[in-house]
Amino acid sequence: MSKPILCLGIESTAHTFGASLVSSDGRILSDVKDTYVPAVGKGIHPREAAQHHSQVCANIIHKSFIEAGKRPHHIDAVSLSLGPGLGPALRTGATVARGIAAILNKPLIPVHHGIGHIEIAALTTGLKDPLVLLVSGGHTAIAACAKKKWRIFGETQDITIGNLFDMFSRAAKLPSPGGPNVEKYAQKGSKYVDLPYTVKGNDVSYSGLLTASKKKLEENVAIEDICFSLQEVAFSMLTEATERSLAHTEKKELLLTGGVAANTRLQKMMRIIAEEHNAKFSVVDPKYSGDCGAQIAWTGILGYRSGVRIEVEKSFVKPRWRLDEVEVPWRK
């Protein structure tokens, strides 16, 4: 029986620097991270996030090896999140990953951050061929895999749903990240506030919803009711587009992943449409819904097995890397 492959994954796309050791038999041996938190009312400053990552990276990686009970010479590969994300933050993580790969003479595996979200969810749920709703600060997309690429069936035309919640929270002077705070206040609200609902074809648009919600703040409408209505409208738009995609693709699995997947209201709405279409519904393990090294390490394992490699001198980060541009040779 062959020895399992061991991969070190480095995540640094935005506010989180993470490192994880994952085995090819699906065991997540360690997952350590530290998150840059901007001041209340402020968004992520790319340069400050990069500075945070450079300050914590050595300690995070060291802790990841300690937690896994492994030493650097035990790993077979190093995977890194090559994009999409914030340029300065991505470059910090890439520099660290390149250095480790070069010193240990191990192959470097490029990983698309969004595919990392999908594959860690597939690992933790056991789904094989799902329609995926990927929702986070960097992604809002409905996708299914065909001919070794993730095909987009719907996406945001402007800001992502994670950014929608973050930007609203900044306007409301709520702490970062915005999503959990919006959900907390939404659970206390009950009065529906009229807000714009914008679905264009099978794509969603959130900029108008953000503007209208911020205006309601200025009008001193109760924040609980604004958050309740903001969630209902934003999620209803996604539910409409996802149900249409589920009917079109006739997939029998629906997978919810990404940071916003932790929202219980969104989970309930997705579960309802899955049941109506006789599809199995699963949501990513909450431990791995946010950005983390485990998603990069596990996807690195999949890439390693399929012969995916990148030379250090060619490992330029890709801040605007689209999901549907990436070959995924381990899938059909």
Question: Residue 175: what pLDDT?
Answer: 87
The chain-wide mean pLDDT, for the chain, equals 97
Check if 6-118+289-325 and 129-287 are the same fold: yes
**Does residue 8 surpass a pLDDT of 80?**
yes
Residue 43's pLDDT is what?
Answer: 87
Residue 42 has pLDDT above 90, yes or no: no
CA distance 66 to 304: 24
The neighbouring-strand residues paired with 281 are 254
pLDDT tens, residue by residue, 255-305: 999 999 999 999 999 999 999 999 999 999 999 999 999 999 999 999 999
**115 half-sphere exposure, CB direction, 13 A CA radius:** 31
Question: Using CA atoms, how far apart are residues 331 and 211, in angstroms rounded to an integer?
Answer: 40
What was the pLDDT predicted at 263? Answer: 97
Give me the mean pLDDT over the 14-41 stretch.
96
Q: Report the share of the chain in percent with pLDDT over 90.
A: 96
Looking at residue 176, its pLDDT comes to 82
Which residue from 134, 158, 245 is spatially nearest to 208, judged by alpha carbons? 158
Give the predicted TM-score (pTM) of the model: 0.96
Question: Do residues 277 and 5 touch, judged by C-beta distance below 8 A?
Answer: no
In residues, how long is the chain? Answer: 332
- Per-residue pLDDT for 14 more than 90? yes
Question: Contact, 204 vs 237, CB < 8 A?
Answer: yes
Rounded Cα–Cα distance for residues 324 and 132 (Å): 13
Domain 129-287 sits in CATH 3.30.420.40? yes
What pLDDT is recorded for position 1?
59
pLDDT value, residue 177: 87
Of 12-21, 173-182, 236-245, the least confident: 173-182
Domain borders along the chain are 6-118+289-325, 129-287
The residue ranking higher by pLDDT, 85 or 190, is 85
Which two structure tokens, joined as six digits, stand for 133?
A: 């709703």
What span, in angstroms and rounded, lies between the C-alpha atoms of 273 and 45? 38
Condensed to tens digits (0 to 9), the pLDDT of residues 148-184 reads: 999 999 999 999 999 999 999 999 999 888 999 999 9
CATH superfamily ID and name for 6-118+289-325: ATPase, nucleotide binding domain (3.30.420.40)
Residues with Cβ within 8 Å of residue 101, at least 6 apart in sequence: 77, 78, 107, 108, 312
Phi, psi at 110, each rounded to 5°: -80, 135
pLDDT at residue 250 in the model: 97
Q: Tens digits of per-residue pLDDT, 209-226? A: 999 999 999 999 999 999
Q: Got the DSSP string for 128-189?
A: SS-EEEEESSS-EEEEEEETTEEEEEEEBSSS-HHHHHHHHHHHTTPPSSHHHHHHHHHTT-
CA distance 204 to 240: 10
pLDDT band at 116 (very low <50, low <70, confident <90, very high): very high
